[in-house]
Chains A and B, each alone.
Chain A
Amino acid sequence: MLLQVHNLRKTFPIRGGLLGKKTGEITAVDDVSFYVKKGETLGLVGESGCGKSTTGRAILRLHEPTSGQIEFEGKSLLALSEEEMRKARRDLQMVFQDPFASLNPRQKVMDILEEPLIVHGMGNGKERKEQVQELLHLVGLNQSHAMRYPHQFSGGQRQRIGIARALSTKPKLIVADEPVSALDVSIQSQVLNLMADLQEKFELTYLFIAHDLSVVKHISDRVGVMYLGRLVELADRDELYERPLHPYTQALLSAVPVPDPDFQKQRIILSGDVPSPANPPKGCAFHPRCPHVMDICKEVRPEFADQGGGHFSACHL
């Protein structure tokens, strides 16, 4: 067990009025619990604004969690001081969504990749330079690229740089926050395969955040589904895609396009919109849109419980 998250909550205050008083709060991540085993890939899916990115950032304490517990290799990350956390980042790296915005435009690739090594006191100047070359080679770029600036690369190349950067400190866990959603489909598969290769090579563990169900299916061992800040279902990949328990997951999966023009499939169309996270519905957050809604759903929040064989779901059904 590499990472365990217990009852993670992250709220953002809404400020308004003349003096910027707190007038409410948005619950971006609401009581989320899961674990990630060493060497596996846990996919986290959900639509925009469901809190999946915030979950990833909160685990790395890029957003300070409001409450909950995060254990990494049995140690609590939230108990670390700022300085201890800074050092711990060596083992916990992140690949960001937007390869155009997440690289400092003023740094050469060499500096981008070398900086984490300097920060964590890894190697001397010569060793670090060698390691940068090795990293570039690993992600399929060549050595001459080291002296260029990020704007001289394409989106796919930039994301490779982002991955190389995340790899540079030889981390144990990589949180990949929609690493391919900004890329062309043809490039997406290249980057996904690269990530899979690297995982095998370095025994990496991924927390893979995405909104594209087919991408998640391709790369994940287990998949978690989030809705309105809550984890509604989590199971082994095949189990989840074949036998979804939660009505939201069922609706989500029915929306995946099938590359066959003759295939007529039953789509579950949800009515209404996602409620505001500033004012989530009582009981089950999904009840206003659920086709199987019952009275209890409007009052009691369903527990996120093991329905057998490690298939977790939060539903009264």
Chain B
Amino acid sequence: MISYIIRRLIMLIPVLIGMSIITFSVVHAIPGDPARTIVGDKATPAQIQEIRENLGLDKPAYIQYFTYVKDILQGDLGTSLITKQEISKEIKPFLAATTELAVVAMLIAVFFGVNLGILSAWKQNSWFDYTAMLIALIGVSMPIFWLGLMEQWFFAQELDLLPSNGRLDPRMEFDAITNFYSIDAIIQGNWYAFQDVLLHLILPAVALGTIPMAIIARMTRSSMLEVMRSDYIRTARAKGLGEFWVIYKHTLKNAFIPVLTVVGLQLGLLLGGAVLTETIFSWPGVGRYIFDAINARNYPVIQSGILILATIFVLINLIVDLLYAWVDPRIQYGKGE
């Protein structure tokens, strides 16, 4: 098992090298000059040239790339051109905000998706099944920005039930320690803030979780239906097991592997792809951070931000692969493969 993990981690290296080359090339293909962005429109050509030399932007692209890789290997993710802050420090609160949102969205998606899928499979071809799958189809097809706006309009504006944006009421006094606000609030025993954090999470998390929920529901249903036809489910019934246990114990466990794959992939996507949701709900997450960097031609931030997201994505996939072995005892890693 351990040798398998090490092997998988070594296999990460070419993936990350590829990632870094692609992001580096793409970022440099973006039109516009970061030096001009920094000094503004009224700078003289000499000033711009000076800044270009300072940043190493006058050197050939391959040298810039090797400098970049060398810095990363030394743990230096570069410095933001705009704020002059180290990216590795600057990105932390953004990452925390995104992770908090993505995890809550995923919890919602898994809870509702898996249960909808189970019930749909259990009551196959019933009105419940049809309704649930219609909802899932709508969920998959729903443009996320539109859903977010509708949520804000209905729940924040019309009903005035939930806050429409941000992570916390700005008037509240609050110390960010880990930058996971829900955890921070618990650490500080500030239950009023905790409640406010949760309320702020609901709308963006639902918006973000809708598509994964729909995908998970559909995947769970089809996987459950397949397993329910297998002989050992009949065996379980013949033993005299009640239907609830047949479904939740025997069927679900066996049907869970494809669902787990989808959950892993979707979580990776949520972490990186929440730009729209973060923008609509003014959520200070990593998607927003990179989005702003793109607008500002902030090369180092774009490069490092994408590299971090890619690394997280690959790591989540590794974790999912390891979970397979836990879910299905027939899968063993590191033995005779």
Report A's interface with B, CB cutoff 8 A.
Answer: 20, 57, 60, 62, 86-90, 93-94, 96-98, 101-106, 115-116, 119-120, 149, 151, 162, 165, 169
Contacts and interface: CB of A to CB of B under 8 A. Distances in A.
19 contacts: A57-B234, A89-B239, A89-B240, A90-B240, A94-B238, A96-B234, A97-B231, A102-B235, A103-B235, A104-B232, A104-B236, A105-B254, A105-B328, A115-B241, A116-B239, A119-B239, A119-B240, A169-B239, A169-B240
B205 to A, nearest CB: 31
Given A105-B254, A106-B328, A115 B239 contact: yes
B335 interface: no
A90 B238 CA distance: 9
Interface string B111-149: 000000000000001000000000000000000000000
Contact of B238 (A62, A106, A120, A151): A62
A22 to B, nearest CB: 13
A105 B240 contact: no
B253 interface: yes
A105 B235 contact: no
Contacts of B45: none
A23 to B, nearest CB: 16
Contacts of A57: 234
A103 B235 CA distance: 7
A142 B248 CA distance: 31
Interface of B: 125, 230-232, 234-242, 245, 250, 253-254, 327-330
Nearest to A162: B235
Contact of B240 (A103, A120, A162): A120
Pick the 7 closest A-B CB pairs, nearest first.
Answer: A89-B240, A101-B231, A102-B231, A104-B232, A116-B239, A94-B238, A149-B329
A105 B330 contact: yes
Contacts of A162: 235
A213 B250 CA distance: 35
Given A96-B231, A98-B231, A86 B240 contact: yes
A102 B230 CA distance: 7
A150 to B, nearest CB: 9
Contacts of A101: 230-232
A276 B250 CA distance: 35
Nearest to A91: B240
A14 to B, nearest CB: 15
A197 to B, nearest CB: 23
B235 A104 contact: yes
A86 B254 contact: no
Given A115-B236, A151-B330, 10 more contacts: A62-B238, A93-B239, A96-B235, A102-B232, A104-B232, A104-B235, A104-B236, A119-B245, A162-B235, A165-B239
Contacts of A120: 240
A88 B330 CA distance: 33
Contacts of B125: 20
B112 to A, nearest CB: 24
B239 A105 contact: no
A62 B234 contact: yes
A87 B125 CA distance: 28
Nearest to A100: B231
Contacts of B254: 104-106
A184 B242 CA distance: 34
Contact of B253 (A88, A97, A106): A106
Nearest to B250: A104
B251 to A, nearest CB: 9
Contacts of B241: 86, 115, 119
A109 B72 CA distance: 51
Contact of B232 (A20, A60, A103): A103
A20 to B, nearest CB: 8
A105 B232 contact: yes
A294 to B, nearest CB: 42
Given A105-B254, A106-B253, A119-B241, A165 B328 contact: no
A126 to B, nearest CB: 21
A105 B250 CA distance: 9
Nearest to A89: B240
A192 to B, nearest CB: 21
A104 B236 CA distance: 8
Contacts of B239: 89, 93, 115-116, 119, 165, 169
A109 B247 CA distance: 20
A88 B237 CA distance: 12
A151 B332 CA distance: 12
Contacts of B330: 105, 149, 151
B253 to A, nearest CB: 5
A262 B242 CA distance: 57
A102 B234 contact: yes
B235 A89 contact: no
A93 B238 contact: yes
B329 A116 contact: no
A102 B250 CA distance: 12
B324 to A, nearest CB: 12
Contacts of A90: 240
A314 B256 CA distance: 50
A238 to B, nearest CB: 32
B234 A86 contact: no
Nearest to B251: A104
A170 to B, nearest CB: 13
Nearest to B253: A106
Given A62-B237, A120-B240, A169-B240, A106 B329 contact: yes
Contacts of A94: 235, 238
Contacts of A104: 232, 235-236, 250, 254
Contacts of B240: 86-90, 116, 119-120, 169
B332 to A, nearest CB: 10
Nearest to A166: B238
